Chain A
């Protein structure tokens, strides 16, 4: 719903004082690609992820929004590389961890595929403009029952392709299955970097629509330069002054979707992002990590 939800009437949902357009880009075609019940990319879901990537590429999607993350594979890297070469903007959640003592096995740094240079890393900022990270907040403490979740960020090398959008406490579609007829509602407690991801994907799609003619005129369409024009527009327009430690937590800054439309970004050959690649040691490290946990 954050990405492209439609008009919601005044009597629908728990927030009946609100009505209007829910999604950030309601005219976009959204292709749902399901790869599992949970958002952790681990063994069993990795092949499905790669298949979903190729499906999105075959369908000539302009943007791929990935609200999942976890371990890397070579096949994942190949799919990310192909998407980029074809000009598709790939946005992926940085990942989440839990602010509890036993959470030593869940990475606090950005996970894959978000960690690849050719993917925009979606990190979280909260309603007070400070990071979705307990250590970076004043007067905010975690509560049990899932409230300890916070977003991943870092290392610095990854944050150069990161951008922040807002989470948690964003609207989230809910369905009550306990009644004869399912009751559709909203929670405003949606959270996780998965919620930040579609905001950035929507901004990328808005830029593509706005500058479609220029992207074609420059010969960028179906090439990596289309993806890079979008990425550079989002990165260069992001607000890097929201907080003192913006670079550490937000990378390029906080998403400014209107400012990103202010000018068309031309791309030079030396701006091509680094190829996604995965070494044996990297695979082993991540598989071991997630196998231990789950």
Chain B
């Protein structure tokens, strides 16, 4: 968004770097100390739904456990297409 400052490098994952949230280092720390079979954690994501075909969708997207609670819809938790568009963020990119 041109209104706001943009990162000068690592434009894709800048917010995970050490000068920001340290999320990248934290992930490496967990992966280095905890065996893969013990890395079990479950996050419920309450939002507008998911789009599982996108390559950046969560690796372990639990589509069968997910659900839509919107009245009149099927239980499928995918984002719905309305008027040829997907609406799944605070304000769609221009």
Residue contact A261 to B54, C-beta cutoff 8 Å: no
Residue contact A258 to B57, C-beta cutoff 8 Å: no
- The interface residues of chain B lying within 8 Å CB-to-CB of A48 are 69-71
User: Which of these, B38, B86, B89, contacts A212 with CB under 8 Å?
Assistant: B38
What is the total number of residues of chain B having a CB less than 8 Å from a CB of chain A?
Answer: 77
Residue contact B43 to A168, C-beta cutoff 8 Å: no
Residue contact A1 to B41, C-beta cutoff 8 Å: no
- The interface residues of chain A lying within 8 Å CB-to-CB of B87 are 37-38
User: Within the complex, what minimum Cβ distance (angstroms) separates B78 from chain A?
Assistant: 8
User: Within the complex, what minimum Cβ distance (angstroms) separates B73 from chain A?
Assistant: 8
Bound complex: CA A281 to CA B30 (Å): 46
Bound complex: CA A43 to CA B69 (Å): 14
A29-B62, A33-B69, A126-B5 known; A175 and B54 CB under 8 Å? yes
Residue contact B56 to A126, C-beta cutoff 8 Å: no
Within 8 A of B (CB), among A78-118: 96
User: Which of these, A28, A53, A202, contacts B60 with CB under 8 Å?
Assistant: A28
- The interface residues of chain B lying within 8 Å CB-to-CB of A22 are 12-13, 56
User: Which of these, A28, A53, A65, A202, contacts B23 with CB under 8 Å?
Assistant: A202
Most chain A C-beta atoms within 10 Å of own C-beta, residue among B47, B59, B78: B47
Task: In the complex, identify which listed stretch (A146-154, A217-225, A271-279, A284-292) lies at the interface while the others stay far away.
Answer: A146-154
Most chain A C-beta atoms within 10 Å of own C-beta, residue among B20, B78, B86: B20
Question: For the complex, would chain B's binding face be called helix, strand, loop or mixed by DSSP majority?
Answer: loop
User: Within the complex, what minimum Cβ distance (angstroms) separates B57 from chain A?
Assistant: 7
Closest to B28 in A: A258
User: Within the complex, what minimum Cβ distance (angstroms) separates A90 from chain B?
Assistant: 9
Bound complex: CA A40 to CA B66 (Å): 20
User: Within the complex, what minimum Cβ distance (angstroms) separates A15 from chain B?
Assistant: 5
Residue contact A35 to B29, C-beta cutoff 8 Å: no
- The interface residues of chain A lying within 8 Å CB-to-CB of B5 are 126-128, 130, 137, 140, 169
Residue contact A171 to B13, C-beta cutoff 8 Å: yes
Bound complex: CA A174 to CA B53 (Å): 11
Bound complex: CA A13 to CA B58 (Å): 16
Bound complex: CA A198 to CA B88 (Å): 14
User: Within the complex, what minimum Cβ distance (angstroms) separates B90 from chain A?
Assistant: 3
- Would you give the 0/1 interface string for A1-32, flagging 1 where the beta carbon is closer than 8 Å to chain B? 10111111100110100101111111111111
A267 close to B (CB within 8 Å): no
- The interface residues of chain A lying within 8 Å CB-to-CB of B45 are 3, 30-33, 64-65, 67, 198, 201
- The interface residues of chain B lying within 8 Å CB-to-CB of A187 are 93
- Would you give the 0/1 interface string for B37-74, flagging 1 where the beta carbon is closer than 8 Å to chain A? 01111111111111101111111111101111111010
Bound complex: CA A55 to CA B66 (Å): 9
Residue contact B1 to A189, C-beta cutoff 8 Å: yes
Bound complex: CA A140 to CA B3 (Å): 6
Most chain A C-beta atoms within 10 Å of own C-beta, residue among B16, B49, B55, B94: B55
User: Within the complex, what minimum Cβ distance (angstroms) separates A256 from chain B?
Assistant: 5
- The interface residues of chain B lying within 8 Å CB-to-CB of A165 are 15, 21
A72 close to B (CB within 8 Å): no
Q: Which 9 A-B pairs rank lowest in CB-CB distance, beginning with the nearest? A: A192-B90, A56-B44, A257-B26, A34-B49, A48-B69, A6-B59, A1-B56, A32-B66, A4-B58
- What 18 new A-B contacts, CB under 8 Å, besides A140-B3, A206-B30, A261-B26? A1-B58, A12-B55, A32-B61, A32-B66, A35-B70, A37-B87, A52-B44, A61-B42, A65-B45, A66-B47, A147-B4, A148-B3, A167-B15, A169-B7, A172-B89, A173-B56, A177-B85, A258-B26
